[in-house]
Chains A and B, each alone.
Chain A
Amino acid sequence: MANEVNTTTPSETVASGGTPPAQPAFGRAVARRLRKIGLGLIFPLALIGFWEFMVRWTGTRLIPPPGDVLTMMWDFAFGGIYEDAFSASLPIHLWVSLQRVYGGFLAAALIGIPLGVALGRSPLLRAMLDPTLSLLRPVPVTAWLPLSMIFFGLGPKSAVFLVFLGAFYPILLNTVFGVKSVDERLLEAAAMLGCKGSQLFRSVVLPAATPSIFNGLRLGHGFAWILIVVGEMTGVPEGLGAVIMDGRTLSRTDLVITGMIVIGVTGFLSDRLIVLLNNRLLRWSPQHHV
């Protein structure tokens, strides 16, 4: 029967006869990993080279060369170079931005997932809410900015609201989709095994919808990082979006680019966290591993 197994642990034991010493599996995994990182680095390094070249070649003063940005990043993070208002201020800006992103994102998840589940399960609720939600959906979140500033005033609340709106729709729609597209067969299988009512929901609908819900969370999380910058560009003293806006006003392009890089890196790391959780919870589904 053992020969029927499709996938288990890959048999990594290589018979080493007179051939050169067989590389252990671990070594090969590391080599593969390094190769992947190396390949991924080629393009950004080329881009930095091109950036440096273009700045020198055109002699522009509007865009700083990569080295200046690096200096700025160091100063922004640890201070000790320029000793201005931005020196060593990264932690505080990052911290408030993170709070706003996760605040808005969590609120979107806390409302979007239950509402999505309810919409997916109840045709009545769908009939009542679908038209409204469908009409509001095409409105770009940034178009809400003026209204949001009236509702919440100039300040961080408004930014959190934008983040919430941006993350809300992908989470909601993917949850509805996941709940509605549970394989009918699985519901039949559960019913014939004597599982019904709320049990059916907990034991079948919810787990079956998890991949889709995670899809929504990941998308929503991406939008949250986009919108925090928009949200912080108006009337907020702190935050990565505010730093970029200040950089623009002060014509400090090195600051602008520094802000962009910090947001990119943080957003990426934060996304990896979701992916980690995703891969852990969806161990059962190889096609949902990211």
Chain B
Amino acid sequence: MSDIAPQKTEHHPPIIRIAGLSKSFQSETGSFQALRGIDLDIDKGEFVCLLGASGCGKSTLLRIIAGFETASEGTASVFDRPVEAPGPDRGIVFQDYALFPWLTVHENIAFGPKHAGMSAKEVKRIADKFTEMVGLTEFIHHFPSQLSGGMKQRVAIARVLANDTDILLMDEPFGALDALTRAKLQEELLDIWQQTKLTVIFVTHSVEEAVVLADRIVVMSAGPGRVDCDMTVDLPRPRDVSSEPFNAIRRTVAERLSSNLAPGRRLTAGDAA
């Protein structure tokens, strides 16, 4: 949308560029517009949270970037090429894990490298490395049905990391976890992100989660889904959820989320407080 201020001055093209994107679903009862006029550029290495109430089209937007859905209008490009199909450059972590239940932890993590035709030795090396990165070395021979939710999600994350992905697309990945596990995984995800320099788009409906994680929060509003505002979060990491600046930003974001104001300017976290 034109009312979103341009990105900070760029020296390189964004890794993801969404321009004038709309999406309508057709059904017998007619057509339903889920997204309208989305413009969004995401730079390499950014951690972006898509925040919005349920039903505002966050998953749909993510699925278009992933290549599972096609845009009705406009384009989504990754590395300057329009997205046509899912591919290993975009790793997806689903809320319901989507692990292969007949494969062990290690085999799940090895899935991508194995299907890329690497040698068995190389596959094992990679799978070992990422199994260790998510702290599951003890559980390599377990099947997903023998793991807790938090461990399953670790496997899901390791599985896309092992596939040497550039972009991590996460759709409410921690939504089904208890608060403690969730906090732990958030911390681990930030560690991994800092180690790997991945670009992350993280969908959530939790304001706190967005403020804990993001460099940048894109608030979406519904009916039909569009970008309501786009804020930068300048807090240093690790972030202290009880600190005053953290709460100031949380308040601003929460207000923004609950208000139905006209789409606004790009805010910086600082001017809110």
Chain A residues with a Cβ under 8 A of chain B: 1-2, 4-8, 183, 185-186, 188-195, 199, 203-204, 207-208, 210, 282-286
Contact = CB atoms under 8 A, between A and B. Distances in A.
Nearest to B99: A189
Interface string B167-195: 00000000000000100000000000000
Given A4-B181, A6-B147, 4 more contacts: A192-B160, A207-B102, A284-B103, A284-B144
B85 A191 contact: yes
Interface string B101-114: 11110000001100
B146 A194 contact: no
A282 B143 CA distance: 11
Nearest to A283: B143
Contact of A186 (B98, B145, B146): B98
B68 A188 contact: yes
Interface residue SS majority, chain B: loop
Interface of B: 66-68, 85-88, 90-92, 94, 96, 98-104, 111-112, 115-116, 135-136, 138-139, 142-148, 150-151, 159-160, 163, 181
A192 B87 contact: yes
Nearest to A188: B68
Contact of B98 (A2, A4, A189, A195): A189
A8 B147 CA distance: 9
B131 to A, nearest CB: 13
Contact of A190 (B91, B111, B144): B111
Contact of B115 (A2, A185, A188, A194): A194
A193 B111 contact: yes
A74 B67 CA distance: 69
A176 to B, nearest CB: 20
19 contacts: A1-B136, A4-B147, A4-B148, A5-B139, A5-B147, A6-B146, A186-B100, A188-B94, A189-B94, A191-B68, A192-B88, A192-B90, A193-B112, A193-B115, A193-B160, A194-B116, A199-B115, A203-B111, A207-B102
A186 B146 CA distance: 18
Which of B102, B111, B112, B145 gathers most chain A CB within 10 Å? B102
Contact of A7 (B67, B85, B136, B146): B146
A194 B102 contact: no
Contacts of B138: 2
A207 B103 CA distance: 9
Given A186-B100, A203-B115, A207-B102, A194 B88 contact: yes
A8 B145 CA distance: 10
B100 A189 contact: yes
Nearest to B156: A189
B151 to A, nearest CB: 5
Contacts of A286: 145
